[in-house]
Amino acid sequence: MVFSFNDKLSEAFTVMKTESKIAENTPRHPLKDLILEVKNITKEVNSPEGLLTIVKDINLSVERGKPISLVGPSGSGKTTLLAIMAGLDIPTKGSVKLLGSNITLMNEDQRAQIRAKDVGFVFQSFHLMPRLSALDNVMLPLEIAGDPDAIEKSQIALDQVGLSSRAKNFATQLSGGEKQRVAIARAIVNKPKILFADEPTGNLDQKSSNAVTDLLFSINELINTTLVLVTHDLLLAEKCKDLYELSDGSLL
């Protein structure tokens, strides 16, 4: 199993290399350093009412260091698009180039590799492990990657979100805002190059919401990551450099 695992790894690297070569040879935006490039994404699913197109012909790109936001009414396909961009789901058509690799050509484990190394996530409903302490929750990605300095790095991350005093608390003992800050610490602990957030303030009151928002944008600069934010909060969306609006599965 170990061997085949390594084989897949090297396969993944080969894919990444060839992909980045193609990117070098055919510069579409010669001056821009693109971290994410989405081309002609369409996602269809089977539903009881037949084939359903959730997102359609999406094209967008994200420059390194420039946060973007994705807004749109409920059910417009924001989460679906985010999942595809982050490699959590695969599109029916089109390609996604994340950090120079065409992730639509990769298998599940290869995409997982990229996520482990360079991608962070924040979710609307936090998704902390209830039976783990705040610190253990933050450590999760590092443990998966087998990082020997997991504890120190996690403490630093908790410190960055201002919750180092709550490290030993269990997730259930935290307020919603605090939970989301722990989740943000967890998302940044592996110093991701890109951070996906799906309605990070959706479950929070105004005050906690502001705190989380400030944190997200300050972190963007602090660890030099690029934020991809899904929200229907226009105020929040407008803080980003680029704003895409989704309606009925298509970009406006």
Partner 1 sequence: MIKGFRYALNKFWPEALSGDLLILSLSIVLAVTSISSVSFLGDRLQTSMKLQASSILGADLVLRSASAIDPNYLELGVANNLDTAETITFLSMIITDEDNLLTSIKTTSESYPLKGELIIADFDGSLIQNSGSPPSGSVWIEPKIAETLSINNLTEISIGNKTFKVDGIIKDFPDRNSSFVGFYPIAIVNINDVSQMGVIQTGSRVIYRNMFSGSKRNLDNFVNDIGEIPADIRLQQADDVGDELGEALRESVTFFNLASLFTVIISVISAMMAVRRYASRNLLHASLMKVFGASKLFILGHQIMQLLLIIFFATLFGLLCGYALQSLIISALQGILTNELPAPSFKPIILGFITSIFVVLATASPYLKILSQTEPIRILRNDFSINISNNLIIYLVALVTMFIFLGILFQDIKLLSYILLVLIFVTAALFAIGKTLIYLLGSIKFSSGIGWKIGLKNIVNRGNESILQIIIFGLSLLFLIVLAETRTDLIDSWSETLEEDTPNYFLFNIQEYDLVNVTSYLLETANFSPSYTPLIRGRLLSAKRAGSDEFSSENLMEREANLTWQESLPKSNKISKGEWWNEESLEAEVSIDAEVADSMNLEIGDELLFSAGGSKFSATVTSFREIEWESFSPNFFFILSPSAGQKLPNSYITSIKISEQSDIMNLFTQRFPTITAVDLAAVIQQIRNTVSSASLAVQYIFLLTLIAGILALVASVFSNRDQRTKETAIMHAIGANRLIIFQSAAAEFFILGILSGFTAIIFAIVLSSIIFSQFLDLQYSPNLLILGLSFAIGVIFIFISGILSIRKTIYTSPIITLRDS
Ligand X SMILES: Nc1ncnc2c1ncn2[C@@H]1O[C@H](COP(=O)(O)OP(=O)(O)OP(=O)(O)O)[C@@H](O)[C@H]1O
Tokens 């999942």 belong to which residue?
A: 83
Should residue 148 be labelled a site residue for partner 1 when binding is judged by CB under 8 A?
Answer: no
Q: Does 143 bind partner 1 (CB under 8 A)?
A: yes
Q: How many Cβ atoms sit within 10 Å of the Cβ of residue 223? A: 17
Q: Is residue 201 near ligand X by the rule CB under 6 A?
A: no
Q: Which of residues 73-132 bind ligand X (CB under 6 A)?
A: 74-80
Query: Which one of the spans 40-48, 54-62, 96-104, 127-135 is the region binding partner 1 (CB under 8 A)?
Result: 127-135
Tokens read off for 244: 């895409």
Angle, to 10 degrees, between the axis of helix 176-188 and the axis of helix 150-160?
Answer: 130
Binding to ligand X by CB under 6 A, coded x per residue (else -) over 220-249, reads: ------------x-----------------
Structure tokens at 249: 């599965």
Q: Could you tell me the smallest distance in angstroms from the CB atom of residue 79 to Mg ion?
A: 3
Q: Which of residues 87-106 bind partner 1 (CB under 8 A)?
A: 88-89
Region from 28-36, 72-80, 98-106, 137-145 binding ligand X, contact rule CB under 6 A:
72-80
Taking residue 243's Cβ as centre, other Cβ atoms within 10 Å add up to 15
Q: For the CB of residue 80, give the shortest distance to ligand X in the complex, in Å.
A: 3
From the list 6-14, 25-33, 71-79, 178-186, the region that binds ligand X by CB under 6 A is 71-79
User: What binding mask, one character per residue, do residues 26-45 give for ligand X by CB under 6 A, x or -?
Assistant: -------------------x
Give Cβ neighbours of residue 125 (< 8 Å, ≥ 6 apart): 203
User: Residue 226's CB: how many other CB atoms inside 10 A?
Assistant: 21
DSSP string, 159-223: HHTT-GGGTTSBGGGS-HHHHHHHHHHHHHTT--SEEEEESTTTTS-HHHHHHHHHHHHHHHHHT
Per-residue burial over 53-92, b if 16 or more Cβ lie within 10 Å, else e, is ebbbebebbbbeeebbbbbbeeebbbbbbbbbbbbbebbe
Of residues 23-82, which lie at the interface with Mg ion (CB under 5 A)? 79
| Shortest reach from residue 163's CB to ligand X, in Å | 27
Binding to partner 1, residues 186-205 (CB under 8 A): 198
- Which of 72, 91, 100, 141 binds partner 1 (CB under 8 A)? It is 141
We find the least distance from the C-beta atom of residue 209 to Mg ion, in angstroms, to be 17
* Measured CA angle at 127 (ends 241, 76), to 5 deg: 50
* 149 binds partner 1 per the rule CB under 8 A: no
Binding site for Mg ion (CB under 5 A): 79
